[in-house]
Amino acid sequence: MTIKAQSAKLIADIKAMATEPFKLMEVCGSHTVAIAKSGIRELLPPNIRLVSGPGCPVCVTDNSDIDRFLSLAQQPGLIIATFGDMIRVPGTVTNLQNIRAGGADVRVVYSTLDALEIARQNPEKQVVFLGIGFETTIPTVAVSVEIAARENLSNYSVLAMHKLVPPVLEVLVMDPELGIDAFINPGHVCSVLGTEPFEFIAKQYGKPSVIAGFEPLDILQTIWMLLKQRTEGRSEVEIEYTRVVKTAGNPKAREYMDKYFTVVDARWRGIGVIPQSGLKLRPEYSQFDAEAKFTLPQPVETNIPGCQCGDILKGRLLPPDCALFGKACTPLQPIGPCMVSSEGSCAAFYRYRGRSYNA
């Protein structure tokens, strides 16, 4: 059977099973982009509502944390190494792009290995890697600390602003105002964590969840699997993305995370502080912890006037529901991080806004 025929059959089956309202949340930025790009929303019956969750690591970074790393970037003698999405993310006053234009040494890297190489080539300067991301990329940051320790690169450090996915999902599933019926779980994160950390969704809250791949056919198959669970009265964690995700995940990657990081409370944009939802370097690696090495301002809660990014990250709103969307806030002049990041909901909706949305 061709992919086109498989897709058509899945869509027909989904429409047949969608006998009552069903609200699904995808919690991965790559899923958000794939859904928007392929026009999956307009293929679904109107009583299936797809909403985007806090799956973009740039977007969920709180404004207070952004202000802290902007302050760090302006300190003399430092080189800031960051992934490209962070360059244009606005803080309260400015962003890294403007600070770089003013003379700060801010460099875009594609991996922590690039940041380590910058440290090797600039021994007279301190190099700080901005640690943004979920469980998918955290092990690579741990490896960079291991390499820095082995090579005695005392001029390398990490500003850890990492987030953990399972704790935020529990906050969302507990919120009765959101009314989420099922979750499309993140394939990349689950390739590291496996299924066990997500079992509470089904066992404690009775919500189906399926770990999905990133092709349109993966997502349609996942929606069908979620509907099938509901039709059969089941609530389980299932794996659609079997070609990558295993039940046990990646034990070696988790071992690296546990060795170099410890779990702490973390502030999420639009949600607030979630206990035990972030990571920081363990005390024995404090020589590579930018927060320990440099003076940073204390977090101050601030909001971007008019920006609804927080409600969009919680699935309370779709991007077009924000009054700024496509008007004052565009990819060329973003007001909030959901429009900046390539995985942000607003950026995905804007880029593929010719599609219709079953809001």
For 168-214, how does the pLDDT look when each residue is reduced to its tens digit (9 = 90+)?
Answer: 999 999 999 999 999 999 999 999 999 999 999 999 999 999 999 99
Q: Give the pTM.
A: 0.92
Cβ burial of 264 (10 Å; 0-12, 13-18, 19+) is middle
Asked if residue 194 belongs to a domain, the reply is: yes
Look at residue 139 and give its three-state secondary structure. helix
CATH number at residue 39: 3.40.50.11740
Q: Can you point out the beta strands (E) in 175-329?
A: 182-186, 209-212, 237-239, 261-268, 272-281
Asked if residue 300 belongs to a domain, the reply is: no
Q: 280: how many CB neighbours lie within 10 A of its CB?
A: 21
Q: Which distant-in-sequence residues (6+ apart) come within 8 Å of 38 by Cβ?
A: 216, 219
Asked if residue 302 belongs to a domain, the reply is: no
Asked if residue 72 belongs to a domain, the reply is: yes
Asked if residue 359 belongs to a domain, the reply is: no
**HSE-up of residue 191 (Cα within 13 Å, Cβ side):** 15
Reduced DSSP (H G I as helix, E B as strand, rest coil) percent helix, strand, coil of the chain, to 5: 45, 20, 40
Asked if residue 50 belongs to a domain, the reply is: yes
Contact in structure between 186 and 28 (CB atoms under 8 Å): yes
Asked if residue 107 belongs to a domain, the reply is: yes
Q: Which distant-in-sequence residues (6+ apart) come within 8 Å of 34 by Cβ?
A: 40, 214, 215, 216, 219
**Buried-exposed string 102-115: b where 16+ CB fall within 10 A, e elsewhere:** eebbbeebebbeeb
Q: Considering its fold, how many domains does the chain have in total?
A: 1
pLDDT of residue 205: 97
Give the pair of three-digit tokens for residue 119: 């440290």
pLDDT of residue 332: 87
| Separation of alpha carbons 288 and 286, rounded Å | 5
Contact in structure between 16 and 8 (CB atoms under 8 Å): no
pLDDT of residue 357: 42
pLDDT of residue 356: 42
Which residue segment(s) compose the domain that 318 sits in? 1-289+307-349
* H-assigned helices in the chain: 3-17, 29-38, 40-43, 57-60, 63-73, 96-101, 112-121, 138-151, 165-174, 187-193, 200-203, 216-231, 251-260, 290-293, 309-313, 337-340, 345-351
| Separation of alpha carbons 104 and 316, rounded Å | 38
pLDDT of residue 359: 39
Q: Give the position of tokens 């700024």.
A: 324
Helix (H) and strand (E) counts in the chain: 17, 11
Asked if residue 261 belongs to a domain, the reply is: yes
pLDDT of residue 354: 54
Give me the residues of the chain with pLDDT under 70, please.
354-359
